[in-house]
Amino acid sequence: MPEPTENRQDLFSGILDFYLFSNLHIALCSVALVGVTQELFGFHLRAELYVFVFSGTLFLYNLQRLPAAFQNVEIERKYRRHRWNTRNRKLLLGVSIVAMVVAAWTFLNLNTKTKLIAIAPGALSVAYAFPSVYWKKSWVRLREIPFIKIFIIAVVWGISCVWVPAAADNSFPQWNSPEVSLWMIACCVMIFSIAIPFDIRDLHFDGDKLKTMPAVFGLRNSIAIGVVGMLLSLVGVYLADMYSTIMNFHHVLIYGVWTIVTCVVIVCSKPSRHEYYYSFIIDGMLIVLWAMLRWC
């Protein structure tokens, strides 16, 4: 008979797997990054905007997982997330449908300017997941074009979590003002840096198929690029504060402390790390940033 401790561990592991691999965690991280933008500029955002970003992120991330989860061909599922997606594909589909409906409803409640800006990351995400680009005599996904994968992720997150909320605040003078645009660039660079560990995680899975940064430049050089990117994002936040009459330099200091901690997390990345390290801790650093800006 299983021990009660084992049962509790299995229950906790099952709940955590659902939270991470159904992409609830990454969707919450996107809301946290919108919250970071709100804290930096004092935006007045309606609840519908947060719900839209959450449900849109949840739907688009799951949209990338569903085709592989429903494949009839027997393939090796080496990674925990892949096995979870296959075993729980009906649950994943149900969550995705609910997220799609909620995202569509909240999208209709956004102002016209926000809708137009939100179309860009949505279109890029679909092209990232499905063959939409003609490349070398065939239709491919954006992620299959050498080196472009990580840049698409950074741009999609930057637009969704900076320009979309900036456009949603009708009281803010200009959604693409210099300070907001500088934060948008800094945000893109930061997401680029945080995404590098995930390419390190997937090095043995798609390193031969996709020309990711670790596959081309090696593990140490990729980590160094990630650290440099984080420091550049800090410079971008500092410049945004210089241009802005709204931002508080206290926030720049907090971002600096967070940058140092995140650099340590990036440096500790290696392919042998447990999936929870990447899916929970590295992504979760965005929630930590929001919490630090909110309460420190």
**pLDDT tens, residue by residue, 107-134:** 999 999 999 999 999 999 999 988 888 8
Q: How far apart are CA 261 and CA 255, in angstroms?
A: 10
Contact status, residue 240 vs residue 173, Cβ threshold 8 Å: no
Residues 258-269 have a mean pLDDT of 97
pLDDT band of 254, cuts 50, 70, 90 = very high
Residues 191-215 have a mean pLDDT of 82
Contact status, residue 192 vs residue 229, Cβ threshold 8 Å: yes
For 140, phi then psi, to 5°, come to -130, 165
pLDDT band of 277, cuts 50, 70, 90 = very high
SS3 210: coil
pLDDT at 75 over 60: no
Identify the domain containing residue 186 by its residue range: 4-295
Point out the least confidently predicted range of 85-89, 98-102, 163-167: 85-89
Q: What type of residue is 177?
A: S
> Please, which residues have CB within 8 angstroms of residue 118's CB and are 6 or more apart in sequence?
52, 56, 107, 110, 159, 160, 164
Q: What type of residue is 202?
A: D
Other Cβ atoms less than 10 A from the Cβ of 16: the count is 14
Determine how β-strand 133-134 pairs with β-strand 139-140: antiparallel
pLDDT band of 74, cuts 50, 70, 90 = very low
- Where are the extended beta strands (E) located within the chain? 133-134, 139-140
Q: What is the mean pLDDT of the chain?
A: 90
Query: Could you give the percent of the chain with pLDDT greater than 70?
Result: 93
Q: In the beta sheet, which residues pair with residue 134?
A: 139
| Helix or strand (DSSP H, E) at 110 | none
Other Cβ atoms less than 10 A from the Cβ of 36: the count is 27
Q: What type of residue is 240?
A: A
Number of domains in the chain: 1
| Residue-level pLDDT at 11 | 87
SS3 133: strand
pLDDT at 278 over 80: yes
169 versus 262: the higher-pLDDT residue is 262
Q: How far apart are CA 7 and CA 291, in angstroms?
A: 32
Residues 220-229 have a mean pLDDT of 97
Q: How far is C-alpha 270 from the geometric centre of its chain's CA atoms?
A: 19
The alpha carbons of the chain give a radius of gyration, in whole angstroms, of 19
CATH of the domain at 113: 1.10.600
pLDDT at 98 over 90: yes
pLDDT band of 78, cuts 50, 70, 90 = low
For 134, phi then psi, to 5°, come to -85, 115
Q: How far apart are CA 142 and CA 154, in angstroms?
A: 13
Report pTM. Answer: 0.93
Point out the least confidently predicted range of 46-55, 135-144, 204-213, 267-276: 204-213
pLDDT at 229 over 70: yes
Contact status, residue 197 vs residue 89, Cβ threshold 8 Å: no
Other Cβ atoms less than 10 A from the Cβ of 57: the count is 28
Q: How far apart are CA 132 and CA 143, in angstroms?
A: 11
